[in-house]
């Protein structure tokens, strides 16, 4: 029997479950989607039951197809989108939909925090700025607006915490998720007594904090029956999706960096110690005291997609006719234009912006239009404007004394050589694109392997498994 | 034999010659085009010979088709784009292409004027701000850069001045064109001795200034032979095209206003006396001391055309298929969007802007883009942004104490009811659209009729001839 490890990532749009052999090769991978609900402008919710249903669906497909005489699942690691606020009652049932990371309803609660506790104090305790992105302001909104539900709340969980609970029956939160809660004392590695007291939050509703590689429990009989997993498989606390993906991209030593561009762009930089900072976010990475500093842009690929949807009718037809990718066509068009796009600037804040400007009211702009401005220039301006946003975030990183001299790129955006070339030239550093990857589940599996002592060292296994397929200078 | 009058307008793109019966009805109309040359960015020139050739072509077609036993041409009036710098040698031959109104090469000479004479003094004498739009800075450029040609210059003429010269052999300039020269003393109704002396310009090269309705000469034997006109027909000094068009639109009494939207928009307001002002332009209208205050925007319809050319592929195909006008289709799309275009703003400065901000370096912008921004909203934003530019100019007018409570609209832009509705709502006044008209030539004919005493009163004949076809509230 060969041992293997199951990595599961509960992302924003889908769950991805991947079974890895111990050498890091993929045995089976499955995914399943769930919807996001936007009940009001700026609100974003998901149904926790749907996370679990999608997870069960993917695991079942894996266990059905697994040659059970040949392979034995030795550990499970779950990562997720973060942070989330999901209140459960005493029976472990969700009391409402989860407020997910993109939910911005708690602006008022942030103002309250600024007045009551103060930006400086919050940063001192939690290491991050006050923002609706974090879990604590969302929790305050919940208390303010749904006190009848808070009264019935037994635990507040994260996304992976809920899946872990369904697998093991144990309540938990990993250190990475905790560090994004804004009620976690990162200096003392525990829930902040000061914040709980001052804001009158019962620490009982907050789950126990684990190191990411800690085993929090094992697969229950009930979960085994539903999923086809064997009862008793150890489940680790897990980590945040970006952190797991960074591990997969080999972003571990101080100054190693990766940018992930899809709908939006996240820039992650490893640091061997915590760095408080003004305009980026800090979180624990998942092993030791390693940290990640990250900048999150709201819309990058989304701007390009917007242009395609509004103006790409011709490209769409050509792409269909020639069986080409429409974004490749748009790239080809933009490549015919000189750098600078004829002095046309594009600000990509089409959904407001997170780091480094943190302005929900910011909006997209085309600046510098002339009667000679062409579609091609507008496409290139979008590629350049979104790259400037990345540059803007990277400048914040260098303020922290972290030296970044090359950047890895993953996600759909890394398919565009032109986009990468613009970024390389703007950031003045080479950009390395790894072989197509599974993203977070690989990092989850690695952490789980460390948790059950199949691996001694995250670094070594990462170094072996990463293959760079192209370098853009 | 019935008397009739020939009105000729030498516009920016073509000459339009129209023969009118004395009651204002059109007998024959003809037009012919000529090109504009852009030898460098910001430069704009035309070949004076081509004005004359196009004029001859249109007059010949009219004289060929005229029932010569039935009609007798009693007078000719010529208006033109303004202002222009055209140097002629002693034989009346052009020494170079004319620098037309849109030529912006004389920024440096404007700076020189500001230093040497000063903005205040220039305004005191000429009634207008210093700007490359006017003729004087262009003349200084000519002296500075082509002194060998200035040495051979016998007269500097305007566009209609050249056609008048070809018709009559007489050099002239009308008071309206003179008032846009920036070397005319509007207080003393003569060339400014002070400016000529201080800038060392020989007054000899400047033609005699006439009232617009003054007869400057009669059709020569030579011109008669080429055009088919009878020798001896009186030719008046004429006026500026905008002024002639304003007369046709019935903009005569103080506060009467018209906006002409095509590629760009011009807003003209009548005033019974001269009004110096900061950000608009003042000129004599063509009869008595009546003045026109006008604001000129650089690109309005041009922005819409740009959008159509870059993004209107689908509309183009539908328009062809259904035999519809593409701008009507775009209007229909924009009409589906709420006022405010989803908070999307458009600045129409795609060729810089003239009044009221006078900034050649201004550029177009879309501000407030979100991922939900639609093509329809962008079209509406263009209609709204260009209407705001009109509003911006009208606000300057009210600063002068001129009360405008309704606005006439002519030109291609007046075909769009939606655009007019946006303007009416923004300016908070009704917009009146006259029956399709001939534009400037009607005003030219009226002035010529007054010149040869066929009419006593410009006002009366205008009032009789204007028919409003729709009013947009």
- pLDDT tens for B335-373 read 999 999 999 999 999 988 989 999 888 999 999 999 999
Q: Are residues B157 and B260 in the same domain?
A: no
Tell me what percent of the residues of chain A surpass a pLDDT of 90: 76
Q: How far is B161 from chain A (nearest CA, A)?
A: 32
Q: Determine the residue among A305, A346, A364 to mutate to test chain B binding: the one whose Cβ has the most chain B Cβ atoms within 10 Å.
A: A364
CB-nearest partner of A365 from B313, B369, B378: B369
For testing the chain A interface, which of B304, B368, B369 should be mutated: the one with the most A CBs within 10 Å? B369
H-state helical runs in B262-413: 301-311, 313-322, 326-334, 375-399
Please indicate whether residue A205 or residue B411 has the higher confidence score (pLDDT).
A205
Question: Are B413 and B422 contacting, i.e. CB atoms less than 8 angstroms apart?
Answer: no
Chain A hits for B313, CB-CB cut-off 8 Å, are 313-314
With contacts defined as CB-CB under 8 Å, which chain B residues touch A351? 370-371
- CA-based nearest distance A119→chain B, Å: 29
Q: Report the pLDDT averaged over residues A448-453.
A: 94
**Tens-digit pLDDT profile for residues A251-277:** 988 999 999 998 889 999 999 888 887
Contact B369 A363 (CB under 8 A): yes
CB B442 within 8 A of CB B16: no
Q: Out of A208, A241, A274, pick the residue that ends a domain.
A: A241
How confident is the model at residue B303, as a pLDDT? 94
Give the model's pLDDT for residue A436. Answer: 64
Question: What pLDDT, on the 0 to 100 scale, is given for residue B464?
Answer: 74
- The total number of structural domains that make up chain B: 2
Q: Indicate if A233 and A300 belong to the same structural domain.
A: no
Of the partner residues A311, A364, A373, the one whose CB lies closest to the CB of residue B369: A364
Name the minimum distance, in Å, from the CA of B373 to any CA of chain A: 8
Asked if B369 lies within 8 A of A375 by C-beta distance, the reply is no
A329 and A393 together in one domain: yes
Nearest to B375 among A299, A310, A374 (CB): A310
CATH number for the domain that contains residue A222: 3.30.420.40
- Exposed / middle / buried, residue A56 (Cβ in 10 Å: 0-12, 13-18, 19+): buried
Residue A82 lies in a domain: yes
| A366–B369 CB contact, under 8 Å | yes
Same structural domain for residues A405 and A377?
A: yes
Question: Interior CA angle at B344 toward B339 and B350, to 5°?
Answer: 110
Complex ipTM over 0.85? no
**Does residue A461 fall inside a structural domain?**
no
Same domain, B106 and B164: yes
Asked if A306's CB is within 8 angstroms of B373's CB, the reply is: yes
Mean pLDDT, residues A191-217: 95
- If asked whether residues A82 and A139 sit together in one domain, one would say yes
Q: Say how far apart CA A423 and CA B290 lie, in whole Å.
A: 61
DSSP H stretches of helix in A117-236: 119-126, 135-145, 147-151, 159-168, 175-178, 193-198, 221-227
Site from A333, A370, A376, A379 to mutate, B interface, most B CB atoms within 10 angstroms: A370
- Chain B residues with CB under 8 Å of A364 CB are 366, 368-370, 373
Together in a domain, B157 and B256: no
- Mean pLDDT (whole number) for A190-200: 94
The predicted structure's pLDDT at residue B277: 79
pLDDT at A196: 94
| Least confident piece of the model among A340-354, A431-445, B148-162, B257-271 | A431-445
Number of A–B residue contacts, CB under 8 Å: 72
**In whole numbers, what is the pLDDT of chain B averaged over residues?**
93
Domain boundary among B196, B221, B241: B241
Residue A68's pLDDT is 74
User: Would B462 be classed as within a structural domain?
Assistant: no
Question: Containing domain of residue A413, as a range?
Answer: 250-436
Q: Are B364 and A373 a contacting pair at CB < 8 A?
A: yes
Residue from B85, B376, B411, B416 nearest B267 by CA: B411
Q: What confidence score (pLDDT) does residue A202 get?
A: 93
For the cut 80, the answer to whether the pLDDT of residue A463 exceeds it is no
Q: Are residues B151 and B265 in the same domain?
A: no
pLDDT band at B298 (very low <50, low <70, confident <90, very high): confident
pLDDT band for A460, please (50, 70, 90 cuts): confident
- Of the pLDDT bands very low, low, confident and very high (cuts 50, 70, 90), residue B66 is confident
Contact B327, B415 (CB under 8 A): yes
The reply to whether B217 falls in a domain is yes
Q: Say yes or no: B101 and B209 in one domain.
A: yes
């Amino acid at each position: 029997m060969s041992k293997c490890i199951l990595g599961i990532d509960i992302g924003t749009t889908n769950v991805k479950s991947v079974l890895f052999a111990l050498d890091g090769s993929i045995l089976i991978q499955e995914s399943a989607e769930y919807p996001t609900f936007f009940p009001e402008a700026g609100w974003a919710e998901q149904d926790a039951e749907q996370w679990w249903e999608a997870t069960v669906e993917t695991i079942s497909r894996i266990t059905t197809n697994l040659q059970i005489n040949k392979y034995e699942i030795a550990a499970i690691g779950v990562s997720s989108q973060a942070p989330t606020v999901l209140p459960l009652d005493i029976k472990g049932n969700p009391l409402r939909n989860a407020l997910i990371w993109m939910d911005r309803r708690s602006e008022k609660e942030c103002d309250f925090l600024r007045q009551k506790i103060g930006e400086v104090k919050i940063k001192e305790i939690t290491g991050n700025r006050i923002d609706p992105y974090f879990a604590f302001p969302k929790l305050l909104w919940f208390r303010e607006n749904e006190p009848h539900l808070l009264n019935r709340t037994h635990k507040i969980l994260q996304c992976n915490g809920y899946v872990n609970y369904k697998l093991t029956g144990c309540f938990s939160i990993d250190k990475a998720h905790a560090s994004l809660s804004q009620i976690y004392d990162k200096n003392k590695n525990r829930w902040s007594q000061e914040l709980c007291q001052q804001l009158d939050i019962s620490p009982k509703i907050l789950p126990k904090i684990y190191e990411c590689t800690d085993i929090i429990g094992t697969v229950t009989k009930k979960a085994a029956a539903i999923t086809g997993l064997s009862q008793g498989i150890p489940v680790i606390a897990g980590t945040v999706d970006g952190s797991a993906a960074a591990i997969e991209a080999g972003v571990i030593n101080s100054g190693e960096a990766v940018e992930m561009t899809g709908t939006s762009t996240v820039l992650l930089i490893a640091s061997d110690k915590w760095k408080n900072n003004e305009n980026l976010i800090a979180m624990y990475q998942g092993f030791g005291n390693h940290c990640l500093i990250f900048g999150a842009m709201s819309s990058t690929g989304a701007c390009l997609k917007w242009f395609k949807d509004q103006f790409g009718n011709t490209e769409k037809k050509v792409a269909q006719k020639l069986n080409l990718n429409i974004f490749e066509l748009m790239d080809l068009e933009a490549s015919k234009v000189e750098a600078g796009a004829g002095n046309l600037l594009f600000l990509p804040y089409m959904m407001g912006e997170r780091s480094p400007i943190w302005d929900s009211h910011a909006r997209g702009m085309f600046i510098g239009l002339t009667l000679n401005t062409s579609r091609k220039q507008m496409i290139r301006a979008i590629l350049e404007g979104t790259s400037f946003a990345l540059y803007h975030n990277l400048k914040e990183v260098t303020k922290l004394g972290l030296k970044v001299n090359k950047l890895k790129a993953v996600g759909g955006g890394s398919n565009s050589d032109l986009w990468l070339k613009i970024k390389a030239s703007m950031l003045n550093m080479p950009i390395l694109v790894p072989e197509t990857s599974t993203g977070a589940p690989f990092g989850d599996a690695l952490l789980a392997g460390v948790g059950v002592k199949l691996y001694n060292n995250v670094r070594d296994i990462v170094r072996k498994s990463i293959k760079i397929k192209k370098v853009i200078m």
